[in-house]
């Protein structure tokens, strides 16, 4: 490779972007950043402090004052002001609150700037919902992972069962429909594929297949 690459991976909940991004980064020896984890981390802090999730000004101030770090390794760890919160990012309060927090324009502006600083050195794979369209508009490779909402719900259901949580498939399905609607219709950087993104249907291709497909794109550059 003649220059550092920046690879943007976008897609809805449970499209596989975090797993694909992490595996791809490991293959390339790059850093992986799951930007969704940053919004979850901020939501965790807001819930911990009792911040009103409808108070956009308060959430923006919290985003400005909160130090969120992501350590990319075999399994990325996330810290908030030095405290490891990785295991708590899938908790029910965070799951319920992350969409209201992440749709706040001020919050997104603050975290996008932090994400762009992370990516400034190149050699990074970044996953989220607005990476190709907003965070890294000049990314060398842009991927958008499509997935049906039924497949999203099935994946999330199995994921939560493995974590030992008692969940109902229909409740997860209803929540994902609601969250995707919020993410796709928010005024600040809605979820949508970049015009120059390569779209991959992950209903028809497993995560290993997606990684191999993207690696072919990388090697062809």
Which residue(s) pair with 7 in the sheet?
125, 141
Q: Is the dihedral of CA 202, 206, 207, 208 positive or negative?
A: negative
CB 161 within 8 A of CB 105: no
Strand partners, 32: 125
| Predicted local distance difference test score (pLDDT) of residue 74 | 56
Using CA atoms, how far apart are residues 132 and 142, in angstroms rounded to an integer? 6
Quote the CA–CA distance of 23 and 13 in Å, as a whole number.
Answer: 18
The structure's pTM equals 0.84
pLDDT band at residue 34 under the 50/70/90 scheme? very high
Top-level class of domain 6-147+192-203:
alpha beta
Convert the pLDDT of each residue in 54-105 to its tens digit.
999 999 999 999 999 998 755 578 999 999 999 999 888 998 899 899 989 9
Distance between CA atoms of residues 146 and 125, nearest Å:
18
The alpha-carbon radius of gyration of the chain (Å, integer) is 17
Instruction: Locate the domains of the chain by residue range.
Output: 6-147+192-203
């Amino acid at each position: 490779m003649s220059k550092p690459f920046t690879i943007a991976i976008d897609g809805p909940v449970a499209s596989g972007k975090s797993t694909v991004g992490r595996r791809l980064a490991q293959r390339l020896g790059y850093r992986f950043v799951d930007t969704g984890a940053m919004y979850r981390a901020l939501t965790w802090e807001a819930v911990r402090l009792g911040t009103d999730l409808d108070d956009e000004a308060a959430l923006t101030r919290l985003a400005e004052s909160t130090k969120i770090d992501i350590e990319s390794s075999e399994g990325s760890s996330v810290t908030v002001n030095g405290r490891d919160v990785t295991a708590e990012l899938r908790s029910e309060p965070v799951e319920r609150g992350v969409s209201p927090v992440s749709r706040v324009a001020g919050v997104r502006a603050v975290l996008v700037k932090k994400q762009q600083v992370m990516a400034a050195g190149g050699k990074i794979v970044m996953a989220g919902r607005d990476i190709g369209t907003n965070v890294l508009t000049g990314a060398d490779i842009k991927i958008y992972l499509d997935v049906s909402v039924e497949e999203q719900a099935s994946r999330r259901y199995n994921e939560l069962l493995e974590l030992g949580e008692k969940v109902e498939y229909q409740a997860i399905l209803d929540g994902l429909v609601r969250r995707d609607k919020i993410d796709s219709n928010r005024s600040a950087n809605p979820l949508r594929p970049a015009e120059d993104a390569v779209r991959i249907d992950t209903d028809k291709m497993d995560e290993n297949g997606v990684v191999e497909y993207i690696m072919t794109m990388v090697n062809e550059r």
